[in-house]
Amino acid sequence: MTDMTAVVETEGLTKFYGKRRGLEDLTLAIQPGEVFGYLGPNGAGKTTTIRLLLDVIRPTSGRMSVLGADPRDPKVRARIGYLPGELELEGKEKARDYLTFLADVRGGVSRGRIDELAERLEADLSVAMGKLSKGNKQKVGLIQAFMHDPELLILDEPTSGLDPLVQQEFLAMVREVRTTGRTVLMSSHVLAEVEHVSDRVGIVRAGRLVAVEDVAALRERAVRKVEFHFDAPVPREAFEGLPGLRDLVVEGASVRCTIDGRPDPLIKAAAKFTTVHMVSAEPDLEEIFLTYYSDEERHHAHAHA
């Protein structure tokens, strides 16, 4: 790979646990300022990838660089914020004391910064960590990952255990990180959890990266169900034959249809009439993504046959 600017770069990265495959031949580059969603079912290899990038485990073969250096270099790790997939916090130590310890080792974080994050996520830091609920442990994990404003955030299933409101707050925090030009790699089981903040998503399955897609491009390809209600009946001809339009139903003053890709032609056609009410269902990216990569896999299977 010749791209020297990538924040995370791997080439043929492979990890076997004895005979068990964890990850095989991962070649990936994540660019500065990008939010990368790393998706896959249970046991796909997400945590394996992330632990390799943080030098918790060592690759069987292949190479990687993180922020331009080998992750074995401890100085690099000061510039990373990491949330483990199976975060363990235990004992009588108070969450605040633990956060202070982590901050000290990373070169210091103002007390105000920790308080600010705790307030945003509604985390109580005065409780012994062993007594925190799963979601509250996850909040402590998020605070420590974000608190030193790292250049790169590596988050393994960050939303697990969080209630919907806190999830929204977390996504807002990720957006802010992107706004400041920093980079995020986050894993999840479902696209819906990450699609609103991710620039690109990668799918890993059975240890192999099977697809990497641009979220904006996916969205352009997405299928959307749309409904218009006008103040007077409309002619069917006004909508018929529009590019990407399918399943057109015109009943008096209402129009229902499905549109592939950009809704622009439909909007322009509808603009000739007076719209009273409009419904547009959220495009199901997951669905097209899944078809996309299962096709891809079938392709692979054929190629190897």
Partner 1 sequence: MPTLTLKTLKEYRRAIIGWTVGMCAFLGMYISIYASMKDSPDILSRSALAKYPGALRDLMGGMLDIGTGVGYLQAIAYQMLGPLLLVMCAAILGNRAIAAPEQSGTLELTLTLPIDRKQLVLQRWVGLFLGLLTIAVITLLVILAAQSGAGMGVPVGHVLAAHTGLFLVALFFGTVALAVGAAVGRRQTALTVVGVWAVAGYVVETLGRNADWISWARWLSPFHYFLDGRPLYAGWPVGDYLVLAGATAVLLLTAVLAFDRRDVGV
Ligand X SMILES: Nc1ncnc2c1ncn2[C@@H]1O[C@H](COP(=O)(O)OP(=O)(O)OP(=O)(O)O)[C@@H](O)[C@H]1O
Chain residues that interact with partner 1, rule: CB under 8 A: 17, 51, 54-58, 74-78, 80, 82, 84, 86-91, 93, 101-102, 104-107, 144
Question: Which residue, 6 or 26, has its beta carbon nearer to ligand X?
Answer: 26
Question: Which residue, 53 or 125, has its beta carbon nearer to ligand X?
Answer: 53
Residue 43 Cβ vs ligand X, minimum distance, rounded to whole Å: 4
CB 241 within 8 A of CB 260: no
Tokens encoding 196: 């609103």
Tokens encoding 53: 């990038």
- The residue among 139, 159, 145, 46 whose CA lies nearest residue 95 is 139
Q: Which residues bind ligand X (CB under 6 A)?
A: 17, 20, 22, 40, 42-48, 85, 189
Q: Would you count residue 47 as binding Mg ion (CB under 5 A)?
A: yes
Question: Which residue, 80 or 209, has its beta carbon nearer to partner 1?
Answer: 80
Residue 58 Cβ vs ligand X, minimum distance, rounded to whole Å: 13
Instruction: Find the radius of gyration of the CA atoms of the chain.
Output: 23
Question: Which residue, 86 or 119, has its beta carbon nearer to Mg ion?
Answer: 86
Residue 94 Cβ vs Mg ion, minimum distance, rounded to whole Å: 28
- The residue among 40, 15, 1 whose CA lies nearest residue 186 is 40
Residue 56 Cβ vs partner 1, minimum distance, rounded to whole Å: 5
Residue 75 Cβ vs partner 1, minimum distance, rounded to whole Å: 6
CB 83 within 8 A of CB 185: no
Tokens encoding 161: 């255990």
Query: Distance of CA 18 to CAs 59, 66, 202, 289, 302, Å?
Result: 12, 25, 26, 33, 29
* Cα separation of the two ends of the chain: 29
Question: Which residue, 204 or 245, has its beta carbon nearer to Mg ion?
Answer: 204
Give contact residues for Mg ion (rule: CB under 5 A). Answer: 47, 85
